[in-house]
Amino acid sequence: MANSIVQDLISSTPLDYPRYEELYKHFHANPELSNCEKETAARLAAEVSKFGVFEIHKDIGGHGLAAVFKNGDGNTILLRADFDALPVEEQTGLPGTLILCFQPEEERGTGAQAMVDGGLYDKVPVPDYVLGQHVTNLPTGKVGSKNGTIMAAADSYKITLFGRGGHGSMPHMTIDPVLMASNLIQRLQTVVSRETDPSDMAVLTVGSLHIGHVENIISDRAEIGLDIRSVSTQTRGKMIASIKRMMHAEFIASGSTKEPTIEQTRTFPRTDNDGDMASKLAEAFSTHFGEYFDADTARVNASEDVSILATSQGKPYLFWFFGGTDAETYAKAEKEGRLYEDIPGNHSPFFAPVIQPTLKTGTEAMCVAALTFLK
């Protein structure tokens, strides 16, 4: 669709922002963890039904929700979000089909696959294009996307080391999992610093460690929570092999009699934006957002599972970011060289996007994108 038509539709279609601000406040005040989004899904279904034009499908792959608006021949566009997305008004006369996909369990990396396995595309048409976005700590008004890899792959694991428990007064009769875990955690730091090409992207984070419950008891096991990020498939494989090698080495060195175990707890594919879609949307976003759009935004090492909604059907997809940090606050921190100290990132307990103009930017971005790919 021509960019001029997109701009005319956006400017001529009034949006009820106060209503959506209240919805944002409601969802923020009533959060539900992965696989527990029952009330959120119910509220979203109720809100979408008010438009009176959507065929709604509930409980897909858990609490997943999809709503379909069919308006004749044309492209089928899937808008995926974990926040409230706005439909295109029927009176525009645009041909095509619009699917609103509210996906659960994104944080665990299982929601998209669960919806596909739960019969999503038995209930709604297979889309020609999948679109998704996420708020970040960029300044408000900013929108960023890029051709190619925009987010890294991620794998999380639980490692269990087995020692021999006993009383703290008789350590010679035990195999101490505290020491085993300490040695392994230190050695794991070399996977990136000494075994990975510095020109390649790799991150290894030990995010949790659980050993024992009482001061004077030596436990019989240690559990380590581990997360790795990568872009190269080869680097990912080498990192996993190194982790397993180091686990086995600590097993031998400690004298343990039981091999350690490793269990994958999460996995996210790499997010690779389609080149043709990126080029087309860059033109539309540049027209709409002007200097506030970055067509070559920096890749982030966070991860997403949105791609599964497209790749499972052999279809292309595009993902982008929009800012939620007060622009003046961001500019001040940047000027003072205090971005890391003063600007909380996603998943920080202090990350709280300002409602406006964040909501307006996100809404307009999704609408511009949907209109761009509808014919």
d(CA 372, CA 287): 12
Mapping DSSP to helix (H, G, I), strand (E, B) and coil, where does residue 202 land? strand
Q: How far apart are CA 144 and CA 149, in angstroms?
A: 13
pLDDT tens, residue by residue, 49-88: 988 889 999 989 888 889 999 988 889 999 997 643 333 3
Q: CB–CB of 288/6 below 8 Å?
A: yes
Query: CB 132: neighbour CB atoms within 10 A?
Result: 27
Task: Report residue 350 as tokens.
Answer: 């202090």
Rg (CA), the chain: 24
Residues 6+ apart with CB under 8 A from 138: 144, 321, 322, 323, 324, 325, 330
Cis peptide before 357 (omega within 30 of 0): yes
pLDDT per residue of the chain (375 residues) written in tens, 0 to 9: 667 777 777 777 777 788 888 888 888 778 777 777 888 889 999 989 988 889 999 989 888 889 999 988 889 999 997 643 333 344 445 568 899 998 888 888 888 999 999 999 999 999 999 999 999 999 999 999 999 999 999 999 999 999 999 999 999 999 999 999 999 999 999 999 999 999 999 999 999 999 999 999 999 999 999 999 999 999 999 999 999 999 999 999 999 999 999 999 999 999 999 999 999 999 999 999 999 999 999 999 999 999 999 999 999 999 999 999 999 999 999 999 999 999 998 888 888 899 999 999 999 999 999 999 986
Using a cut of 0.85, tell me whether the model's pTM lies above it.
no
Domains, the chain, ordered by start: 3-151+270-373 (3.40.630.10), 153-268 (3.30.70.360)
Cβ neighbors of 169 (< 8 A, separation 6 or more) are 216
CA dist., res. 139 & res. 325, Å (int): 5
